[in-house]
């Protein structure tokens, strides 16, 4: 079952974000606090949205966290999937596909024309899964990022 996250899900989302960071071998990068997540997802001006995958018994076993993007070429919004995570013990049970299908449904319902995300090039199980649902890798594009000192330097803060 897939459902929209509620405020009470923040601790489990936070926990799964930390699990994802461990899996991706960068636990030190998962610095978001529960309070930051609560504000981003449920504050006065939500910046992101989340869905929970749960077992028939109601146990949260996965999540997706996403936000709106905008395509200047298409002239409409899309969804950027920041994180998709399913706990190891239930992988292969359809939860990841159900989370993606829910985001695809939202896109179609709202007239959004893109659902996009990034995947680490070494994460072959995820790459294979994404290709199995029809995702096309954007190999000609390279993600760029500014953080920490470089971000502050460019902003003139250092």
Dist CA 70 CA 134 (whole Å): 21
Backbone angles phi, psi at 3, to 5 degrees: -145, 160
Following DSSP, what letter does each residue of 31-55 receive, concatenated?
A: ---HHHHHHHHHSSS---EEEEEE-
Any catalytic annotation for residue 130? yes
Q: Are 115 and 78 in contact (CB under 8 A)?
A: yes
From the candidates 85, 95, 112, 130, give the one annotated as an active-site residue: 130
Encoding tokens for residue 142?
């390279």
Dist CA 34 CA 25 (whole Å): 21
**DSSP, res 89:** G
Coil, helix or strand at residue 121: coil
Catalytic (active-site) positions? 130
């Amino acid at each position: 079952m897939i459902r929209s996250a509620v405020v009470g899900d923040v601790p489990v989302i936070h926990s799964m974000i930390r699990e994802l960071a461990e899996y991706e071998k960068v636990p030190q990068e998962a610095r978001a606090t529960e309070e930051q997540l609560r504000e981003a997802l449920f504050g006065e001006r939500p910046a992101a949205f989340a869905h929970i995958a749960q077992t028939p018994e109601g146990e949260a076993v996965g999540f997706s966290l996403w936000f709106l993007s905008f395509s200047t070429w298409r002239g409409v919004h899309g969804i950027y999937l920041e994180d998709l995570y399913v706990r190891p013990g239930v992988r292969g049970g359809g939860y990841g596909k159900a989370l993606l299908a829910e985001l695809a449904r939202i896109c179609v319902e709202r007239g959004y024309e893109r659902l996009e995300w990034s995947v680490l090039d070494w994460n072959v199980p995820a790459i294979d899964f994404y290709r199995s649902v029809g995702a096309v890798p954007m190999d000609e594009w390279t993600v760029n990022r500014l953080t920490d000192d470089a971000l502050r330097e460019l902003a003139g803060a250092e």
